[in-house]
Amino acid sequence: MAEVLVVVEGSVKKVTLELLTIARTLGSPSAVVFGDVDQAKLAEYGAEKIYVAEASDYLVAPKATVVASLVRQKQPAAVLLGSTQEGKEIAGRLAVKLDNGLLTDAVEVAADGTATQVAFAGSTIVKSKVTKGLPIVTIRPNSVTPEPSAATPAVEQVTAELSEADKLTKVVERVTETKGSRPELTEAGVVVSGGRGVGNADNFKLVEELADLLGGAVGASRAAVDSGFYPHQFQVGQTGKTVSPQLYVALGISGAIQHRAGMQTSKTIVAVNKDPEAPIFELADYGVVGDLFKVVPQAADEIRKRK
Ligand SMILES: Cc1cc2nc3c(=O)[nH]c(=O)nc-3n(C[C@H](O)[C@H](O)[C@H](O)COP(=O)(O)OP(=O)(O)OC[C@H]3O[C@@H](n4cnc5c(N)ncnc54)[C@H](O)[C@@H]3O)c2cc1C
Q: Residue 138 belongs to a domain with what CATH number? A: 3.40.50.620
**82 CB under 6 A from ligand 1?**
no
Residues in the chain: 307
Residues 134 and 267 occupy one common structural domain: no
Nearest residue CA, atom 40 of ligand 1? 291
The model's pLDDT over 2-29, given as tens digits with 9 standing for 90+, comes to 999 999 999 999 999 999 999 999 999 9
Residues 6 or more apart from 245 whose CB is under 8 A from it?
188, 189, 190, 191, 216, 217, 266, 267
- Provide the 8-state DSSP code for 155: E
- Report the separation in Å between the CA atom of 185 and the middle of ligand 1, taken as the mean of its atom positions: 19
Residues 155 and 252 occupy one common structural domain: no
**279 CB under 6 A from ligand 1?**
no
Distance (Å) of CA 87 to CA 18, 70, 93, 137: 14, 16, 10, 10
Measure CA of the first residue to CA of the last residue in the chain; give whole Å.
50
**223 CB under 6 A from ligand 1?**
yes
Residues 126 and 9 occupy one common structural domain: yes
Q: Is residue 180 part of a domain?
A: no
The model's pLDDT over 146-187, given as tens digits with 9 standing for 90+, comes to 999 999 999 999 999 999 999 999 999 988 877 778 998 988
- Report the separation in Å between the CA atom of 254 and the middle of ligand 1, taken as the mean of its atom positions: 5
Domain holding 61, by residue range, is 3-167
What value, to the nearest 5°, has the Cα angle with vertex 92 and ends 88 and 94? 115
Q: What is the pLDDT of residue 85?
A: 86
Mean pLDDT per 10-residue section of the chain, whose length is 307 residues: 94 95 97 97 98 94 97 98 93 98 95 88 85 96 91 96 94 83 89 98 98 97 98 95 91 96 90 98 96 98 94
Q: Could you tell me which residues are beta bridge partners of residue 273?
A: 289
State which of 254, 263, 282, 298 you would mutate to test the pocket of ligand 1, scoring each by most atoms of that ligand within 8 A of its C-beta. Answer: 254
Residues 12 and 105 occupy one common structural domain: yes
Q: What is the pLDDT of residue 99?
A: 98
Residues 16 and 67 occupy one common structural domain: yes
pTM score: 0.80
Residues 221 and 291 occupy one common structural domain: yes
Q: What is the pLDDT of residue 120?
A: 67
Number of domains composing the chain: 2
